[in-house]
Amino acid sequence: MRNIVDEAGEIIAKASDDHTLVGGHHRLAVAASLGQKLFWKDTGEPVNLDPYFKGSSHRHTA
């Protein structure tokens, strides 16, 4: 399990080792829309948000 943090070090979301979001979907979306820079807590590397917001959605809407 890996944590995604903001510049202040606050945990924004959690992801599995293969970068599948496990929690914090809404907080991640809000942080991205505000243009916040996000980082992997364990390495300090910037998080590439494209895989989380682009591509086909697996959710179905009514």
Distant-in-sequence, close-in-space partners of 38: CB < 8 Å, separation ≥ 6? 4, 5, 6, 12, 28, 31, 32, 46, 47, 49
Is 41 part of any domain?
yes
The pLDDT assigned to 62 comes to 44
Distant-in-sequence, close-in-space partners of 60: CB < 8 Å, separation ≥ 6? none
Is 59 part of any domain?
no
| Stretch (H or E) spanning 23 | strand 21-23
Is 18 part of any domain?
yes
Cα–Cα dist 41/32, whole Å: 17
What residue has token string 């998080």? 47
The pLDDT assigned to 49 comes to 83
Is 60 part of any domain?
no
- Domain that includes residue 28, residue range: 2-53
Domain count, the chain: 1
Residue-by-residue pLDDT tens, the chain, 62 positions: 999 999 999 999 999 988 889 999 999 999 988 999 999 999 999 998 887 776 545 554 44
The pLDDT assigned to 60 comes to 43
In the chain, what is the greatest distance between 2 CA atoms, to the nearest angstrom?
40
